Amino acid sequence: MKITKDTRVLVLTGAGISAESGLKTFRDAGGLWENHRVEDVATPEAFRKAPAMVWKFYKERWQQALQTKPNPGHLALAKLEDWLQDNFYLITQNVDGLHTAAGNKRVIEMHGSLNTCLCTRCSHHFPIKDINLEEDIPLCPKCKGMLRPDIVWFGEIPYHLDKIDALLHNCDVFMMIGTSGVVYPAAGFVMTASYFGAHTIAVNLNPMENGDFIDEFHQGKAGEILPQLIDGWINSAEK
């Protein structure tokens, strides 16, 4: 399919693209994330049971993300958005902020962000950099309620699903990058996009669980494949 500046491109990224920048995924070690069981750091029950321990974990993840830089895959997607402008949107399952750091602006963080937190009492959001992280359990500057990381944990509903659904219904090309195609609802996005007529493309190290809905599969690292793929689209369209 020929991609032009009028092509509406919707991208979904998963942990694989961040892994190329050195960030570990919980699937790397049999359900462990940085040597923690996911159930102990990524569920509402874990936060109710041990909020200080959960906060310690996410403070460390935030510091780690600050030391991490976007890779060529991130930069290629920023270049694609710069070319397509309003015809581009990026949905990410990642919480590290690397797409924004690379220069993407139309980013939908469906699982939240390490860069923000929210109050469990008044629901206000705050940048992590503005919060007193010396406290074991940081408190809301407005109401003194308990803050929590702005992360969508297992058992919670992802953000922006209505907007994502509308984009899936109206895109011409849907790309999946660095995602296993296992975790729902994101794993179902390609089915929706395909049903409504989108050309579907995947870039991943391994074949994906929802491969039956993928029209074009590129196996390998996003940081190696995306720069060539996207430069090819742009150069072809501008000839």
Convert the pLDDT of each residue in 31-55 to its tens digit. Answer: 555 566 777 888 999 999 999 999 9
- When mean pLDDT is compared across 67-71, 194-198, 234-238, the lowest value belongs to 234-238
CB 32 within 8 A of CB 55: no
At residue 27, the pLDDT reads: 55
CATH of the domain at 92: 3.40.50.1220
SS3 content of the chain, % helix, strand, coil (to 5): 40, 20, 40
At residue 37, the pLDDT reads: 75
Q: How many domains are there within the chain?
A: 2
Catalytic-residue membership of 111: yes
Residue 210 has pLDDT above 80, yes or no: no
Give me the residue label for tokens 């959960």. 54
26: confidence class by pLDDT, cuts 50, 70, 90: low
CATH of the domain at 130: 3.30.1600.10
209: confidence class by pLDDT, cuts 50, 70, 90: confident
**Same domain membership, residue 28 and residue 16:** no
At residue 184, the pLDDT reads: 80
Which letter does DSSP use for residue 88 in this model?
E
Q: Strand 112-119: give its sheet, edge to edge.
A: 125-127, 112-119, 147-151
Q: What is the pLDDT of residues 176-207, one digit of tens each?
A: 999 887 778 888 999 999 999 999 999 999 88
Angle at which helix 72-84 crosses helix 222-237, to 10 degrees, equals: 20
Torsion of CA 109, 164, 10, 81, to 10 degrees: -50
**Same domain membership, residue 179 and residue 233:** yes
Residue 25 has pLDDT above 70, yes or no: no
Q: Residue 102: CB partners within 8 Å, gap ≥ 6?
A: 70, 74, 75, 77, 78
**Same domain membership, residue 233 and residue 171:** yes
Residue 68, strand partner residues: none
Instruction: Report how far residue 61's alpha carbon sits from residue 55's, in angstroms, rounded to the nearest whole number.
Output: 10
**Same domain membership, residue 236 and residue 178:** yes
Q: What is the pLDDT of residues 110-168, one digit of tens each?
A: 999 999 999 999 999 999 999 999 999 999 999 999 999 999 998 999 999 999 999 99
At residue 238, the pLDDT reads: 81
**Same domain membership, residue 59 and residue 36:** yes
**Same domain membership, residue 179 and residue 231:** yes
pTM, two decimal places: 0.93
At residue 203, the pLDDT reads: 96
In which domain, by residue range, is 237 found?
1-23+70-111+158-239
**Same domain membership, residue 131 and residue 221:** no
**Entry field: residues in the chain:** 239
**Same domain membership, residue 193 and residue 122:** no
Of 151, 170, 204, the residue at which a domain comes to its end is 151
DSSP for 112-172, please give it.
EEEEEEEETTT--EEEGGGS-TTSSS-B-TTT-PBEEEEE--TTSPPTTHHHHHHHHHH-S
Q: What is the pLDDT of residues 81-119, one digit of tens each?
A: 999 999 999 999 999 999 999 999 999 999 999 999 999
Query: Helix count (H) and strand count (E) of the chain?
Result: 9, 11
Q: What percent of the chain has pLDDT over 70?
A: 95
Q: Strand 9-13: give its sheet, edge to edge.
A: 107-109, 88-92, 9-13, 173-177, 199-204, 216-219
At residue 33, the pLDDT reads: 59
Q: Pick the catalytic residue from 74, 99, 111, 218.
A: 111
Residue 228 has pLDDT above 80, yes or no: yes
**Same domain membership, residue 223 and residue 193:** yes
CB 20 within 8 A of CB 221: yes
Residue 23 has pLDDT above 90, yes or no: no
**Same domain membership, residue 119 and residue 230:** no
